[in-house]
């Protein structure tokens, strides 16, 4: 399957989008303090229409660039989109400044009006961000540095693009292929270590400097704010994940035994487990049907939208030269649609990537149908929940409706996906925090320093279950998120633990859960994550929420050990070692 980009309406031209943004500023700048609810709603709708035009333009550019990373057309469209984005940002920045300057009593009066109900969470969040916002002219100066920061991220992508095949090979079923891919990747990354260390050191130093200007004490603070999560909630989640690290070591010990070793070789960390008598390989039509059938068990709307995306030619699964390899879903809210890109080769991991991105796409479309353009998209951590939930929905269907071999393979894949993702993404977060702490103390983040931090983070997480290799010092270079932002990865830990909790509640009330979950998807970013998940029966401010998810993983691992007694009788690698 390949995208049919002709099915997407051409975006408004860059000059038209820029003109709309300037017109919005001319109509409303300096008036926010005197607006009543009706006019404020009109202004927010105007901002939303401006943003929708910009997103259409950006998505159009990204789609073309994704199909031809080094081509002229995508690069030209991306440059135009970046320039227009800058105009839109400068033109509409007045709103946050003026809204944040309103007296609290006046703001609360407006927030109580039903006309502003769809925007209430957005408006509250904007006022919360005021504590870290600089005067408008200073924000404009800081914004001019963004292209330089983005250039470091683009440098990272281009340096690592030649090793996409090796990254893919790390999860190959054949051990010889995995080892060859590992060696190729290690040899390929090593010459770039000094360059990418310089890039990362520059980005971290810049972030710390802007944090000082804004009076921000913790380098993770803006990520928490962007995710609309209480920092204490994130702290409790990460602390509990750290406390549960022996579970990761237990899983990798189990995985090593399944592969016939006492500990995992470095090239076997991502090795697929094929189940006792075979794998979960399937061709693309079967995979699409498997995902849609799993969605239908939860909600007919989910299955309907997933099938429509496929039927409309808005999914691309064929790896080919020049096309980016990473998977993503790209919404076009003005068209109420989404484009999905995955590289499908029939592996079980490809099936789950397909489910993940279609889960995103369904959530984007349902929210775009129900919410204004300004609030259709949820913050990152919350937006990952439907995607992770979609993966678990597919595995749950395979475990409950598949034959015994399929069920057993899906049970192992459930743990492999959950345990490795939860702990690996927390590991990245731990590494980032250590790097920011080291830089804040005046140390340069050169390649040896970053290698040591990465190695220490792995040792703390996996213990003796994973044999160290060269990538234990070079692996930080593979993480695009740390070059494109900061503290992004904990969103995946949050989303997976949350998705596990939601599936537990689904099993308890399957009849009502589907309607509740569809309503959650339609809500988009219109309410705080804590409030949205509470409607589904999950209290993320309760530490027991995280402990329960880890308890589910631990119980499933115990169940696998019971089916494989030879893996638990060796006292050196007991699956029942204490989690204290």
Asked if residue 453 lies in contact with residue 430, where contact means CB atoms within 8 angstroms, the answer is no
**Do 368 and 333 form a contact (C-beta atoms < 8 A)?**
yes
Which residue ranges make up each domain of the chain?
5-144, 284-411+508-543
CATH match of 5-144 with 1.20.140.70: yes
* CA 366 to mean position of chain CA atoms: 19
Residue 568 has pLDDT above 50, yes or no: no
- Rounded Cα gap, residues 58 and 332, in angstroms: 9
pTM of the full structure? 0.91
How many CA atoms does the CB half-sphere of 383 hold within 13 Å? 27
Average pLDDT score over the chain:
89
pLDDT at 142 over 90: no
Question: What are the residues facing 331 on neighbouring strands?
Answer: 338
pLDDT digits (tens, 9 = 90+) for 4-53: 888 888 888 889 999 999 999 999 999 999 999 999 999 999 999 999 99
Q: Is the model more confident about 39 or about 568?
A: 39
Question: What's the pLDDT at 573?
Answer: 35
Q: How far apart are CA 141 and CA 164, in angstroms?
A: 36
Sign of CA dihedral 184, 185, 187, 192: positive
Q: Angle CA(284)–CA(288)–CA(294) in degrees, nearest 5?
A: 140
Predicted confidence at residue 133, as pLDDT, reads: 80
Beta bridge partners of 330: 339
């Amino acid at each position: 399957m390949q995208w049919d980009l002709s099915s997407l309406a051409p975006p408004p031209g860059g000059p038209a989008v820029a003109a709309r943004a300037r017109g919005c500023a001319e109509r409303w700048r300096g008036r926010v303090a005197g607006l009543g609810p009706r006019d404020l709603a009109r202004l927010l709708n105007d901002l939303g229409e401006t943003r929708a035009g910009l997103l259409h333009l950006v998505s159009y550019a990204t789609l073309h660039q994704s199909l031809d990373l080094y081509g002229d057309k995508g690069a030209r469209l991306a440059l135009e989109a970046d320039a227009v984005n800058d105009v839109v940002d400068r033109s509409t920045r007045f709103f946050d400044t003026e809204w944040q300057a309103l007296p609290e009593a006046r703001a609360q009066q407006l927030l109580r009006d039903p006309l502003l109900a769809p925007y209430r969470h957005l408006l509250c969040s904007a006022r919360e961000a005021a504590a870290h916002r600089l005067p408008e002219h200073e924000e404009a100066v800081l914004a001019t540095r963004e292209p330089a920061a983005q250039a470091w991220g683009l440098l990272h992508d281009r340096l690592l693009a030649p090793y996409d095949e090796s990254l893919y090979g790390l999860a190959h079923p054949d051990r010889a292929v995995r080892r060859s891919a590992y060696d190729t990747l290690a040899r390929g990354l090593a010459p770039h270590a000094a360059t990418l260390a310089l890039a990362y050191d520059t980005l971290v130093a810049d972030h710390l400097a802007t944090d000082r200007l804004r009076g921000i004490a913790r380098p993770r603070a803006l990520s928490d704010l962007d995710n609309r999560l209480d920092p204490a909630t994130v702290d409790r989640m990460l602390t509990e994940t750290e406390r549960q690290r022996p579970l990761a070591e237990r899983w990798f010990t189990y995985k090593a035994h399944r592969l016939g070793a006492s500990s995992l070789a470095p090239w076997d960390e991502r090795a697929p487990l094929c189940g006792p008598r075979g794998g979960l390989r399937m061709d693309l039509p079967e995979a699409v049907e498997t995902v849609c059938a799993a969605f239908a068990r939860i909600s007919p709307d989910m299955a309907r939208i997933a099938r429509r995306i496929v039927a409309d030619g808005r999914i691309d699964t064929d790896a080919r030269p020049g096309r980016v390899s990473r998977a993503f879903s790209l919404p076009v809210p003005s068209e109420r649609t989404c484009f999905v890109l995955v590289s499908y080769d029939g592996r079980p991991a490809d099936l789950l990537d397909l489910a993940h991105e279609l889960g995103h796409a369904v959530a984007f479309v349902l929210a775009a149908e129900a919410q204004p353009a300004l609030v259709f998209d949820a913050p990152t951590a919350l937006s990952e929940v439907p995607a992770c939930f979609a993966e678990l929905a597919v595995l749950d269907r395979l475990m409950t409706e598949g034959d015994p071999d399929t069920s057993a393979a899906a049970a192992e894949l459930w743990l492999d996906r959950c345990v490795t993702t939860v702990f690996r993404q927390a590991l990245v977060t731990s590494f980032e925090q250590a790097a920011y702490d080291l830089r804040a103390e005046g140390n340069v983040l050169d390649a040896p320093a970053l290698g040591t931090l990465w190695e220490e983070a792995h040792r703390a997480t996996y213990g003796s279950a994973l044999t160290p290799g060269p990538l234990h010092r070079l692996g930080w270079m593979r993480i695009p998120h740390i070059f494109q932002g900061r503290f992004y990865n904990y969103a995946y830990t949050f989303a997976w633990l949350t998705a596990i909790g939601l599936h537990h509640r689904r099993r308890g009330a399957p009849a009502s859960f589907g309607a509740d979950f569809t309503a959650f998807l339609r809500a988009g970013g219109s309410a705080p994550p804590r409030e949205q998940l509470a409607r589904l029966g999950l209290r993320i401010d309760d530490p027991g929420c995280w402990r329960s998810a880890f308890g589910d993983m631990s119980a499933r691992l115990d169940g696998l050990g019971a089916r494989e007694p030879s893996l638990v009788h060796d006292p050196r690698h007991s699956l029942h070692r204490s989690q204290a």
